[in-house]
Amino acid sequence: MAANVFALIAHAAGKADDSALELLSAAKSLFPEAAPTALVLGSGPGLKAVAQEVAASFPEVWSFDQETLAYPNAELIRPLLVKVLPAGSIVILPHSTLGIDLGPGLSVKLGAAYLPDVVGFDGVEGTQLKVVRQEFAGQVSAHVQGDVSKGAVVTVRSGAFAPASPSAVGTVIDKSPEAAGLSARRRFVEVVQAEAGDVDITREEVLVAVGRGIGEQDNLSLVDDLAEAMGATVCCSRPIVDAKWLEKGRQVGTSGQTVKPKIYLALGISGAFQHLGGLKGSPFIVAVNKNPKAPIFQAAQVGVVADLVELLPELTEQIQKAR
Interface ranges with ligand FAD (CB under 6 A): 137, 211-213, 215, 237-239, 251-256, 268-270, 272, 274-275, 278, 288-291, 294, 307-309
Which option in another protein, ligand FAD, none does residue 135 bind, with CB closer than 5 to 8 A by kind? another protein
Q: Which helix (H) or strand (E) holds 244?
A: none
Closest chain position to ligand FAD (CB): 253
Of ligand FAD, another protein, none, which one sits near residue 318, judging by CB under 5 to 8 A according to partner kind?
A: another protein
Helical axes 74-84 vs 97-110, angle rounded to 10°: 40
CA–CA separation, 138 and 123 (whole Å) = 22
Q: How far is the CB of 271 from ligand FAD (least distance, A)?
A: 7
Among 4, 29, 43, 255, binds another protein (CB under 8 A): 255
Element (H, E) at 52: helix 45-55
Q: Which of 137, 172, 199, 220 binds another protein (CB under 8 A)?
A: 137
Binding partner selected for residue 269 from another protein, ligand FAD, none, CB under the kind-specific 5 to 8 Å limit = ligand FAD
Number of residues that bind another protein (CB under 8 A): 96
Site for another protein in 169-198 (CB under 8 A): 184-194
- Reduced to 3 states (helix: H, G, I; strand: E, B; else coil), residue 183 is coil
> With contact defined as beta carbons under 8 Å apart, do 35 and 59 qualify?
yes
CB of 197 to ligand FAD, least distance (A): 14
Give min distance, CB of 244 to ligand FAD, in A: 15
Phi and psi for 238 in degrees, rounded to 5?
Answer: -60, -45
- Contact (CB, 8 A) for 120 and 134: no
| Residue 142 interaction partner, one of ligand FAD, another protein, none, beta carbon < 5-8 Å per kind | another protein
Instruction: Dump the DSSP string for 205-220.
Output: SEEEEE-GGG-SGGGH
Residue pair 275/269 in contact by the 8 Å Cβ criterion = yes
Q: Residue 286: phi, psi to the nearest 5?
A: -115, 125
Q: Which of residues 57-86 bind another protein (CB under 8 A)?
A: 73-75
